[in-house]
Structure 1
Amino acid sequence: MENVKPAMYKTETNIKIIDSIMGSGKTSWAIQFMNEADTEKNFIYITPFLSEVQRVKDAVTNRKFIEPQNKGNGKMDNLKKLIMNEQDIVSTHALFQNADTEIIDLLKAGNYYLILDEVMNVVDEFNLNKDDLNLLYDTGMITIDSETGIVRWNENSMYQHTKYNEVKNLSKNENLIYFENTILFWTFPVSIFNSFNEVYILTYLFQAQEQKYYYDMYRIHYEYKAVHKVNDYYVLVDHASKEPYDKEFLKTMINIYDGKLNNIGDINYSLSKSWFEREGNSTLVTKMKRNIYSYFRNNVGTPAQKNMWTCYKDHKPKLKGKGYTKGFVSHNARATNEHREKQSLAYVINRFMHPYKYKFFKSKGVNVDQDLYALSELIQWIWRSRIRDGKSINLYIPSKRMRTLLRDYLSSDI
């Protein structure tokens, strides 16, 4: 198989990025917008968590939102029926990410507006053994476009009923891209964004996020907006004209630990994923576990139910400990209020984009800002805690790089 690269596609759609700091009222604006909208408009509201699904169903009173049910042929089939019947729909990222060409066609035939609460995972590694990939290619079950890298299923192959049904379905929708003769990437079907009359994405620091890089790769046009509250009413304003965020109050609310427990993260790549996986670092990983325990026990002394921590998922068993294990919150958690009682936090990773994903975007001429990407991920995680309610927090962030990024952010007006 030759080395191939995906092409860029120029598409036009009406996408508005509602880029405002956490707690500024993005979700409140969306609920207000849907309550006031003409009944001829149909909405699909997509959120990361089931708890937020119920919140939308309860808060939007001028129309009835329906959640796809796992009945008959499953949630996806039920979603298609709801779209066909022009219902207002609320669901999760997990279901929406499985959208196929039939969903796209149904949306085009309707009058739908999409509100996406937080960016989605739109590009990811697809785990397929290389021998399996070679088998699919050598037997003619798949072809790989020499210009774009798009994997396509061969409908004329004699092998149609195999264990590779997921590959078959995704490649039929052109959702798989082969990169550098090494890795398969799954990509969310870009054409779905053209299927809506308008798309609103509620987020913060979009310029650092993978969905932004994905849009740039496909040359999708989007515009930035921000939420502004006037008395008790929420309005959208041009992002460039918004008032700078005042970080002075935030600085007083985040007690960043500064002491010897930070020594473990002094080197630029310390606490990165590769650092944790390096065979010679097992003693340091054990030391990191002791540091977390010491921080919660000796430095802040908060009860276990007030403690929140994160690491890379694969390393959780090596780092969990007494007084904080149950407070684990995934490092990519977004748009949830479930942890808003957490007071003392430990963020013990040094965030970088997946190396091949970074190369994938760079190969398409898309500039990836690793520091801004890391900062965006960190801020979203911190804001799962009680700081979203204007209450002070304690923060242990041993990576010198991550700690510096946060401190620089708190002194900026972005």
Structure 2
Amino acid sequence: MTKVKVVDSIMGSGKTSAAIQMMNKVDDNKYIYITPYLDEIHRIKDVCNQRKFYEPKVFSKDGETFFKLDSLHKLLTEGKDIATTHALFKMATGETRELIYNEGYTLILDEALEVIQELKVSPDDIKMLLKEWMYETNNGLIQWDTEKESIQGVYSGKFQPVRRYALNNNLIMHNGVILLWNFPPDIFRLFKESYILTYLFDAQLQKYYFDIHEIEYEHYTVRRVDDLYSFVKTINTTDKTIKESIKSNIVIYDGTLNKIGDDVYSLSKSWYTKKTHLHKQLKNNTLNYFSNIMKSKSNENMWTTYKDYRPKISGKGYTKGFVSITERSTNKYQHKKVLAYTVNRFVSPLLDSYFHTKNIKIDQDLFALSEMVQWIWRSAIRNGEQINLYIPSYRMRQLLIQWLDDDL
């Protein structure tokens, strides 16, 4: 198996440019480009003018409707160059994997993939499913009892998504009661070559997932000579010049509004759950920062919190500037110059526990830093412009300051 090439290079270093220039070479390679966003698919189709990229779409034939996964399989069968989303790639089936292998595709994965997540199924429902419809195999996968279906008929209840995941070898059990969706690791062994375009890969769950499943990878970075970009093997993933520019353009608020985040776990998900009496204070702080301290225009404001608590922290003059904490690989917010990052990131205790059972320790600080830096990079900082930043969490603020000072 060819090792996965992890292009671990800071934002703005030219990862996408290098990928585009590689794909624009006239050769016999077949590419599948996976990105988080539809807008990026359209850009790839426009700029890769030396080959034609196709996007899987819903289509009809002989009165029958075929969905995006069907379209993907059709394009793979035809050996087309393909650009599609993380969401569709995560739906890959055994048929998808077989077609990828047979056609000899090269994968370019823009940003690390969400490879493992908790399914929202109650313990009682899990016990029922295990008793009635599912069973655990020797290798830890949860399978659907298709033999039972051949007798009783195909299951058509509310757990059809769970059935689909089980049939696709996506399900694993943790602690005997919790179902986890797991991306089939064998798919990375089926490509002719695989590239992952990211930054701080060692902080990401996909790295730990690779370690669990013994998927070999090696670090690459981007080399630029004039206007030519290329991927080169390296163990050094830090671009000092870009980081110096970032540091000089970030103004981090340092004042009394930070007191709410002094504790190491302040503004974490559990803090939001337990400290409901402090939600109004955090909202007032955020409003004060935008309206009184920065006096910024609403269209320049960008802020975030956990999805469930967005209504609690929203306020006049910045509500519409909300950007999800998981946002990445988009330039839709590059005009935003005044930012509020009102969270304190940790990998969920459940996933931390799961990896711990596999003798893998997650670096919580590196994870938090990676998530925050990616979010900040959605703003005007990506254009070399100055931004102002409110980070009330002491832990998160110090992680950013330390990162900015490292290697300078």
TM-score higher than 0.5: yes
Aligned length: 398
After superposition, residues 81-96 of structure 1 pair within 5 angstroms as 81-96=74-89
Give the residue type in structure 1 aligned to 2:49.
T
> 2:113 matched to 1:124?
no
4+ residue segments displaced more than 3 Å: 241-244
What SS does structure 2 have at the residue aligned with 1:377? helix
Does the 8 Å CA contact 1:254/1:392 hold for their aligned counterparts? yes
> 2:54 matched to 1:59?
no
Task: Tell me the residue number matched to 1:266.
Answer: 262
Among 180, 183, 188, the alignment partner of 2:183 is 188
What SS does structure 1 have at the residue aligned with 2:146? coil
> 2:247 matched to 1:254?
no
Among 136, 149, 152, the alignment partner of 1:144 is 136
TM-score normalised according to structure 2 size: 0.95
What SS does structure 1 have at the residue aligned with 2:24? helix
Among 349, 355, 376, the alignment partner of 2:349 is 355
Query: 1:241 and 1:292 mapped to 2: Cα distance?
Result: 38
> 2:382 matched to 1:393?
no
> 2:337 matched to 1:343?
yes
Give the residue type in structure 2 aligned to 1:88.
D
- Cα 1:244–1:334 change in 2 (3 A) is closer
| Distance apart, 1:363 and its partner CA | 1.1
How much identity, in percent, do the aligned residues show? Answer: 47
Query: 1:28 and 1:183 mapped to 2: Cα distance?
Result: 41
Deviations 1:366-389 (A, max 9, x none): 221000000000000000001001
Give the residue type in structure 1 aligned to 2:118.
E
Query: 1:391 and 1:306 mapped to 2: Cα distance?
Result: 12
The answer for unaligned runs of 5 or more in structure 2 is: 60-64
Of the structure 1 ranges 164-173 and 93-102, higher mean CA displacement relative to structure 2 is found in 164-173
Query: 2:380 and 2:406 mapped to 1: Cα distance?
Result: 22
> 2:233 matched to 1:238?
yes
Query: 1:241 and 1:95 mapped to 2: Cα distance?
Result: 32
Give the residue type in structure 1 aligned to 2:336.
K
Query: 2:176 and 2:93 mapped to 1: Cα distance?
Result: 26
What SS does structure 2 have at the residue aligned with 1:225? strand
Task: Tell me the residue number matched to 1:326.
Answer: 320
Query: 2:176 and 2:227 mapped to 1: Cα distance?
Result: 55
After superposition, residues 93-112 of structure 1 pair within 5 angstroms as 93-112=86-105
Deviations 1:209-240 (A, max 9, x none): 01111101101000100001111111222222
Task: Tell me the residue number matched to 1:43.
Answer: 31
Deviations 1:292-320 (A, max 9, x none): 10000011111000000000000001111
Give the residue type in structure 1 aligned to 2:212.
M
Of the structure 1 ranges 393-402 and 165-174, higher mean CA displacement relative to structure 2 is found in 165-174
Does the 8 Å CA contact 1:262/1:397 hold for their aligned counterparts? yes
> 2:70 matched to 1:77?
yes
> 2:198 matched to 1:206?
no
Give the residue type in structure 2 aligned to 1:156.
E
| Distance apart, 1:197 and its partner CA | 0.2
CA RMSD of aligned residues (A): 1.3
What SS does structure 1 have at the residue aligned with 2:83? strand
Give the residue type in structure 2 aligned to 1:100.
T
Query: 2:140 and 2:260 mapped to 1: Cα distance?
Result: 42
Among 276, 282, 291, the alignment partner of 1:282 is 276
Query: 1:241 and 1:255 mapped to 2: Cα distance?
Result: 27
Does the 8 Å CA contact 2:252/2:391 hold for their aligned counterparts? yes
Task: Tell me the residue number matched to 1:228.
Answer: 223
Query: 1:45 and 1:95 mapped to 2: Cα distance?
Result: 12
What SS does structure 1 have at the residue aligned with 2:240? coil
Does the 8 Å CA contact 1:13/1:220 hold for their aligned counterparts? no
What SS does structure 1 have at the residue aligned with 2:221? strand
